[in-house]
Amino acid sequence: MRQVYLDYSATTPVKEEVLSAMLPYFTEKFGNPSSLYSQGLEAKAALDQARAQVAKLIHADPKEIYFTGCGSEADNWAVFGAAQALKDKGNHIITTRIEHHAMLHSCAFLEKNGYEVTYLDVQPDGLVDPAELEKAITDKTILISVMMVNNEVGTVEPIKELAAIAKKHGILFHTDAVQALANVPIDVKDLGVDLMSMSAHKIYGPKGVGALYMRKGLRIANYLHGGAQEMGRRAGTENLASIIGFGKAAELAEANMEKHISHCKELRDYLIERVTSEIPDTFVNGTMEHRHPGNANITFKYIEGESILLLLDYKGIAVSTGSACSSKSLEPSHVLTALGVPVEMIHGTVRFTVGDFTTKEDIDYVIESLKEIVAKLRALSPVNGEKGW
């Protein structure tokens, strides 16, 4: 059976070149970067090279890149590190309703510990209104965190404008760029962000490694305490092989960015065009204008996204509903809720995300399968057409 993977926003396969770069670091190049003899020095040099590769992808200085255990850790570190370091200045944090759970649950934890958090609404197209951010700022605000690209609907937020507002008020600005990395060009200096989270497994690197960009001169509280790794800011012997893989993935992403973006956009637009024109009662969520090149978030009225997912899985096709994390529960997606999508339509929503290994034939197969599945489910659906939604 044909296998079609359309869930690149959940994770990506490790590219061949990335794996070959990593392998020697499990075996013959197993040295600890903190050791002072040759093997250690070689490991340290490889670590520095990976740091430079990640830095180059976002136009940062290598000294501004701190490797972490994942994108979630980078988000946690940014929020808790800033909250701790600035607790004498204030206790108010501003974020949005559409953030990843790594951010939302960190903020919820802080709320239980004396901090106040404002969750900004988004407009129906999924974008944050900069005027709303400005209104939410108080003299107690110490951190603003807005994600660069949303993982469910793919909206690309106006980070440069939002960061400028933070700067005007002397407030730290963090952005979760896990979905943005390699999918939109990023220049941290031009954007004016202070802190930025990244993850390797969303850009064809290995799982279990991420990074936090921290602007030169900025100091937030450390999150992992122990040895002097990561310039004394993040303890623990480095996950060297994975970090090497992250570096290689970043190098490839930089070299292939234009090709990657146009390839994804072409297939994504083809998928959206065919679904919305050939399957009645379907619509796309989130702005098309400022959007992740591979994201198609589509509602199929009158049916359950979970049923579509399962029937697609029988045909070898992998997609997700709402967000990957909430797909095991019946909780409607917090992102689609924030966009104002009615709850019954949220349940009929599927996220398709294409990537470098997706082909036009894959999309044709998905469309043919979808047409059959949607017709079958709608024929069974008791609410088909009757409720007027």
Ligand X SMILES: *Cc1c(COP(=O)(O)O)cnc(C)c1O
Question: Which stretches of the chain bind ligand X, using CB under 6 A?
Answer: 70-72, 75, 100, 102, 147, 151, 176, 178-179, 199, 201-202, 210
Q: Which is nearer to ligand X, 31 or 286 (CB)?
A: 286
How many Cα atoms within 13 Å fall on the side-chain side of residue 363?
A: 23
Please, which residue, 70 or 271, has the CB nearer to ligand X? 70
Shortest Cβ 114–ligand X spacing (Å): 25
CA distance 6 to 173: 32
Minimum distance, C-beta of residue 49 to ligand X, in the bound complex (Å): 22
Helix axes 360-380, 240-278, angle to 10 degrees: 60
Report which residue's Cβ sits closest to ligand X: 71
**Comparison of 31 and 71: residue with beta carbon closer to ligand X:** 71
Closer CB to ligand X, 43 or 74, in the complex: 74
Minimum gap (Å) between residue 63 Cβ and ligand X: 22
Q: Decide whether 7 or 304 has the Cβ nearer to ligand X.
A: 7
Closest to ligand X by CB, 43 or 198: 198
3-class SS string, the chain: CCCEECECCCCCCCCHHHHHHHHHHCCCCCCCCCCCCHHHHHHHHHHHHHHHHHHHHCCCCHHHEEEECCHHHHHHHHHHHHHHHCCCCCCEEEEECCCCHHHHHHHHHHHCCCCEEEEECCCCCCCCCHHHHHHHCCCCEEEEECCCECCCCCEECCHHHHHHHHHHCCCEEEEECCCCCCCCCCCHHHHCCCEEEEECCCCCCCCCCEEEEECCCCCCCCCCCCCCHHHHCCCCCCCHHHHHHHHHHHHHHHHHHHHHHHHHHHHHHHHHHHHHHHCCCEEECCCCCCECCCEEEEEECCCCHHHHHHHHHHCCEECEECCHHHCCCCCCCHHHHHCCCCHHHHCCEEEEECCCCCCHHHHHHHHHHHHHHHHHHHHHCCCCCCCCC
Q: How far is the CB of 12 from ligand X (least distance, A)?
A: 11
Contacts of 110 (CB under 8 A, 6+ apart): 79, 80, 83, 93, 117
CB of 247 to ligand X, least distance (A): 16
How near is the Cβ of 50 to ligand X at its closest, in Å? 16
Active site residue 325: yes
- Output the smallest distance, CB 201 to ligand X, in A: 6
The active-site residue out of 70, 107, 264, 325 is: 325
Dihedral sign (CA 142, 147, 152, 158): positive
Residue with smaller CB distance to ligand X, 78 or 377: 78
Question: What is d(CA 88, CA 94) in angstroms, rounded to the nearest whole number?
Answer: 17
- Mind telling me the catalytic residues? 325
